Amino acid sequence: MKLSLGFSTCPNDTFIFDAMIHHKIDTEGLTFEVVMEDVEALNDKAFKQELDITKLSYHAFCYLTDHYRLMNAGSALGRGNGPLLISHKEQVDLQNGVVAIPGKYTTANLLLTVAYPQIQHKKELLFSDIEQSLLEDQIEAGTIIHENRFTYSERGLHKIADLGALWESRSGHAIPLGGIVTKREFPLELQKKIDRVMARSVQYAFDNPTESVAFMKQHAQEMELEVMKKHIALYVNQFTKDLGEEGKTAILFLFEEAKRVGLINTYQEDYLIS
């Protein structure tokens, strides 16, 4: 059975998906038609229900529990790995200035909304374009994700806030950034099979960390290997193997925060494959 599968070109995704799409593990008869996009493009495809399985932001998932269910494996969820709010200037006017976000439905935007509700002017940019827009003073501040958190200071940019740290200090929970979902309409046995294959692929990546290097380099050509390793170390952890009770509690808190700030009215409580 062939299923469409969406994930990003970022090292944390290519690292965990390498084994299943290249059949280095038992996929239980499943094959995959791969679609690789930026996370906000994947969010958009999820809203259109174009993909059978996809990586998406947990913020986007808040709106999509009617259509997708979450896998126990594959999540980017943890501590000390949240988005950063940065600027080119020492002093910034967040209330009146334009603040870039890497997408309306990214978890970065949700965390920014919770931390700085006074921001009135947001501009959506591809995550990799935010630093340059700051350097050209086209925007007041920008919310960065992925590998940019390792390189922004080298370009003369300044950190205003660690949005992940603010979230952790306020909530006490880990940060749910992105997860892997599959269509709710699929039979439960198929959902569970996909979840098993995902878990097997993640475990293979942990057990054979150098196996996916060629695949990662192919899709992150401008990134140095050491940066790729840091990227993986930051976003791939025990929660990626299995959410566990701690991860599930963090996700539930995120959903409730989305309700509190008026982003959603409700969500399906059976959002997790079980």
- The pLDDT tens digits for 21-56 are 999 999 999 999 999 998 889 999 999 999 999 999
Question: Which pLDDT does position 192 carry in this prediction?
Answer: 98
The torsion angles phi and psi of 138, rounded to 5 degrees, stand at: -80, -20
Q: Say what the pTM is.
A: 0.89
CB 38 within 8 A of CB 87: no
Asked whether the predicted pLDDT for residue 222 surpasses 80, the reply is no
Mean pLDDT across the stretch 154-177? 92
Question: Which pLDDT does position 221 carry in this prediction?
Answer: 66
* Residue found under tokens 């699929």: 186
* Percent of the chain surpassing pLDDT 90: 74
pLDDT digit string, tens, across residues 51-70 = 999 999 999 999 999 999 99
The DSSP H or E segment spanning 158 is strand 158-162
Confidence grade of residue 225 (pLDDT, cut at 50, 70, 90): confident
Domains (ranges, CATH) in the chain? Answer: 2-78+174-260 (3.40.190.10), 84-171 (3.40.190.10)
pLDDT mean across residues, the chain? 93
Tell me which residues are annotated as active site. 146
Cβ burial 27-42 (10 Å sphere, 16+ → b, else e): beebebeebbbbbbeb
pLDDT digit string, tens, across residues 242-266 = 999 999 999 999 999 889 888 899 9
Mean pLDDT across the stretch 198-209? 97
Q: How far apart are CA 132 and CA 144, in angstroms?
A: 12
Question: Which pLDDT does position 261 carry in this prediction?
Answer: 83
Eight-class DSSP state of 22? T
Mean pLDDT across the stretch 164-184? 94
